[in-house]
Amino acid sequence: MLFLLLALAVCLGQARAGEPTYFPQPDAAGGWRTPKDAAHALDVGGVDKAKLDYAFDYASRTSPHGGLLVARHGWLVYERYYGRGNREAIPTMASVGKAYTSMACGIMLREKRDQIPDGLDQKVFTEKYLPEAFPLDDPRKANITLGQLLTMAAGLHGEGSNPGFVNFEPSVKLEPVPRDRSLDQDTAALRTPLWTDPGGGYSYASNSPHVASIVLRRLVGMEMQQYIDEKVLGKKMKKAGMPVPGKNGKPKKEKDTEKSDDASPLKPEEIDRDDSTEEQDIKKWPADVRQKWLDYRAAVAQRKDAFKEMERQEKEKRKANPGANPPKSGAAAPATGSSGATPTSATGASKEPGGEGTPAGATGTDKAGGSQ
């Protein structure tokens, strides 16, 4: 799959205390305000550009195309691209929607505080918030909070063979759980099995934020996309003079985007394809981009080999000590930290064949066209 990843850490409108809320102008009117140099970036955004350069270097080695953008206190303090990444690129959204789920839930918590008084600590597998989930298929789900769903620490089994992380370490090997195709998306998410107690570990699970979106839908009385359009995109973009998305999520009269690499032999339709991991397509990529992709695949293979070796060592230990009774796959020892904590890296997750969610680096991407 040809990835076009944009790792975007944005705090839109979050000005410093005492300053008016800021929203950027469209590019035609000057766009984001940007610091003039590294010292200015440190002053207005509190960020160290040199450290962000390290993050960018890591990101550029995890996918063929993308970029790293950081906005803080109303300033675009960092913007840099690689491969065919550029400001006008329109990548496949995929799991970027998870960030919008968190954004929408944040607005919902402010507007509906009386209906969800405990905020992120509110237990949501109740008749009030998720009546569709009853009767519960696992009584432990009664302890799942909204915050755990948004941070994938609710104990829901992740996709594919993504491992279970306890105290920041890949501690439990999880086998893929086949989806019951007879169930609709909501029911399938609500019936996702638990691999550990809520708050006991992290595993990348798309069903986790989806359940959070079901809670939001019930409390606000509309679909999440409609809620975001109403509360964020439509109002803010119109105020800033930016094109408001239509029903299909794309700006009206959208113009074709330009490639950042004019020397590329790839045609626009090839860039948007989802099957371009085929060897004949990879050979068409520019040499530097192709090498980054091959390096990434090699790193993925090394991680898989490391897991196989860990599994082999565990088998050897069991043979040497047959009286031991280690936890079965899908079960984990309780985490030593707070049950509400998210035992995962702050850097996000990176896509790898066969599953997404191995915490990796600065891109914060997962099956993104990335964030996924």
pLDDT by 10-residue block (mean), the chain, 372 residues: 35 53 78 84 84 88 88 87 87 84 93 94 97 96 97 90 86 86 92 95 93 96 89 67 55 43 42 45 68 74 78 81 55 39 36 37 35 34
Are 2 and 64 in contact by the 8 Å Cβ rule? The answer is: yes
Cα–Cα dist 372/356, whole Å? 9
Cα–Cα dist 247/244, whole Å? 10
Are 244 and 251 in contact by the 8 Å Cβ rule? The answer is: yes
Select from 216, 215, 244 the least CA-distant residue to 230: 244
Select from 362, 368, 342, 371 the least CA-distant residue to 151: 342
Which residues in 192-224 are b (16+ Cβ under 10 Å) and which e?
bebbbbbbbbbbbbbbbbbbbbbbbbebbeeeb
Q: Residue 109's pLDDT is what?
A: 95
Are 9 and 55 in contact by the 8 Å Cβ rule? The answer is: no
Domain extent listing, the chain: 97-220
- Please, what is the end-to-end C-alpha distance for the chain in angstroms? 11
**Assigned token pair, 179:** 């989806």
Q: What 3-state class would DSSP assign to 299?
A: helix
The beta strand positions in 150-271, using DSSP E, are 164-166, 169-172
What are the two backbone dihedrals, phi and then psi, of residue 358, each rounded to the nearest 5 degrees? -75, 110
Q: Residue 126's pLDDT is what?
A: 97
Select from 86, 114, 54 the least CA-distant residue to 362: 54
C-alpha separations of 248 from 225, 245, 256 in Å: 10, 7, 16
DSSP 151-175: TT-S-B--STTPPEEETTEEEE---
Which stretch of DSSP H or E encloses residue 358?
strand 355-359
Long-range contacts of 299-302 (CB under 8 A, 24+ apart): 300/352, 300/353
> Residue 232 gets which letter from DSSP?
I
Cα–Cα dist 92/94, whole Å? 6
Q: Residue 266's pLDDT is what?
A: 43
User: What is the Cβ-side half-sphere exposure of residue 163, based on CA atoms within 13 angstroms?
Assistant: 21
Neighbouring-strand partners of residue 72? 75
